[in-house]
């Protein structure tokens, strides 16, 4: 088993923290590695008996934690899947007040839905909020195989498996998500309907979302479809890219793009894990764009940068895959899977640059070396993150 060095590091934190991330992104491995030399108590709410014991008597949690602190057995408490029992957060808040400076909590979760409800105690600034994602290309390092990631994604376990094992793992993941995140939590009334939505939504991953079309396909209202998409976001399975707003509003598309959190999971939901991936094909290009967008979301989050990600599509035909905004800086990015993009593929960026002359223009692709087309810098995809200063140490 390979232990990947992760960008997110919780060693020597001065505060408690939440670590939120989808299943199998490595939260437990990360916490175990960072706390291996720290005396700590671990509570796993996925264990039924553990969950029932505290659900029936929240005071039991306080007794056990207090006893450990006062006897100096531990100074850190890990609670896995805190969203299973949000009421524990009131006890945690009280314990942080009672034992100021003597106790820290590390709270992991694979869903933010219950934590986002009004009235749930998020510890009022007493805990930092982190997100853990599938592996980035920086964390994978020399083991990076782009074609494999485009097909199977970058969940740590999947990356270490054979193609047949990876397919079985990803298929099991989708079933686990439906059973444990959706069915057990009763997030939807009709699981079959939601399963149909997942399949259609995964095909639409990276496209501009047309709620009306999806509602016709599934037989639900547009508002119900929006609610389903909110479930995807709350259970950490998707990222939303809104439209760019610094332009004439009546000329632009207003619906968001929504990307599933991992290429492999997307392919599992669409049943194309065995589909042939041919460089230059539409599917390859779509997955390559998906991969770059996910890398940006992950590395921006790890870098704690306030960068807004959006896209642009005007009715006139002008379309830009990504627009990044940080303070007054504007960066436009087109993503192409080819190794030698030509002038026509840079046209939209050139036109965007005429309207926003201070913007930096990048065409990201699989070229081995950088070159320019007019005002557009054509760069190898890895170089994008260097240009954006999004290469933290691993």
Per-residue pLDDT of the chain (394 residues; tens, 9 = 90+): 788 999 999 998 889 999 999 999 999 999 999 999 999 999 999 999 999 999 999 999 999 999 999 999 999 999 999 999 999 999 999 999 999 989 999 999 998 888 877 567 778 788 999 999 999 999 999 999 999 999 999 999 999 999 999 999 999 998 888 777 787 766 788 888 888 899 899 999 999 998 988 999 888 899 999 999 999 999 899 999 999 987 545 445 578 999 999 999 999 999 999 988 998 899 999 999 999 999 999 999 999 999 999 999 887 778 899 999 998 899 999 999 999 999 999 999 999 999 999 999 999 999 999 999 999 999 999 999 999 999 987 7
Q: How far apart are CA 206 and CA 292, in angstroms?
A: 11
Architecture of the CATH domain 16-131: 3-Layer(aba) Sandwich (3.40)
Residue ranges per domain, the chain?
16-131, 137-387
Q: Nearest CA to 288 among 274, 278, 297, 298?
A: 278
Query: Please, are residues 109 and 115 in contact by the beta-carbon 8 Å criterion?
Result: yes
- By three-state DSSP, how is residue 309 classified? strand
Query: Please, are residues 320 and 311 in contact by the beta-carbon 8 Å criterion?
Result: yes
40-44, strands of its sheet edge to edge = 40-44, 76-80, 104-109, 16-20, 127-131
Query: Please, are residues 82 and 107 in contact by the beta-carbon 8 Å criterion?
Result: yes
**pLDDT (tens digit per residue) in 54-109:** 999 999 999 999 999 999 999 999 999 999 999 999 999 999 999 998 999 999 99
**pLDDT (tens digit per residue) in 205-248:** 999 998 988 999 888 899 999 999 999 999 899 999 999 987 54
């Amino acid at each position: 088993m390979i232990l990947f060095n992760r960008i997110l590091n919780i060693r020597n934190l001065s505060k408690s923290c939440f670590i939120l991330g989808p299943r199998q992104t490595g939260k437990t491995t990360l916490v175990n590695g960072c706390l291996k030399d720290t005396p700590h108590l671990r509570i796993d709410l996925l264990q039924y008996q553990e969950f029932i014991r505290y659900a029936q008597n929240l005071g039991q949690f306080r007794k056990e934690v207090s006893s450990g602190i006062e006897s100096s057995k531990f100074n850190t408490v890990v609670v896995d899947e805190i969203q299973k029992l949000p009421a524990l957060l009131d006890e945690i808040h009280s314990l942080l007040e009672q034992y100021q400076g003597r106790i820290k909590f590390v709270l992991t979760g694979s869903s933010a839905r219950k934590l986002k409800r009004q009235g749930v105690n998020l510890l009022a600034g007493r805990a930092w909020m982190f997100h853990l994602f599938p592996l980035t290309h920086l964390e994978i390092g020399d083991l990076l195989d782009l074609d494999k990631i485009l097909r199977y994604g970058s969940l740590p376990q999947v990356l270490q498996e054979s193609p047949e094992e990876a397919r079985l793992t990803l298929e099991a993941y989708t079933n686990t998500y439906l059973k444990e995140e959706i069915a057990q939590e009763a997030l939807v009334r009709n699981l079959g309907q939601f399963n149909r939505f997942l399949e259609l939504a995964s095909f639409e991953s990276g496209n501009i979302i047309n709620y009306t079309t999806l509602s016709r396909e599934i037989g639900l209202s547009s508002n119900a479809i929006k609610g389903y998409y909110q479930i995807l976001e709350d259970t950490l399975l998707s990222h939303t890219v809104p439209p760019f707003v610094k332009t004439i509003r009546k000329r632009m598309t207003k619906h968001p793009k929504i990307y599933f959190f991992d290429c492999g999971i997307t392919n599992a939901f669409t049943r194309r894990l065995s589909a042939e991936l041919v460089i230059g094909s539409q599917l390859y290009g779509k997955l390559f764009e998906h991969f770059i967008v996910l890398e940006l979301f992950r590395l921006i989050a790890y870098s704690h940068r306030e960068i807004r990600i959006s896209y642009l599509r005007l009715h006139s035909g002008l379309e830009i895959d990504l627009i990044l905004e940080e303070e007054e800086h504007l960066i436009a990015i087109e993503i192409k899977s080819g190794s030698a993009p030509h002038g026509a593929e840079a046209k939209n960026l050139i036109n965007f640059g005429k309207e926003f002359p201070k913007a930096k223009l990048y065409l990201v692709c699989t070229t081995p070396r950088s070159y320019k087309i007019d005002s557009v810098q054509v760069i190898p995809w890895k170089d994008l993150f260097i240009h954006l200063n999004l290469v933290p140490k691993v």
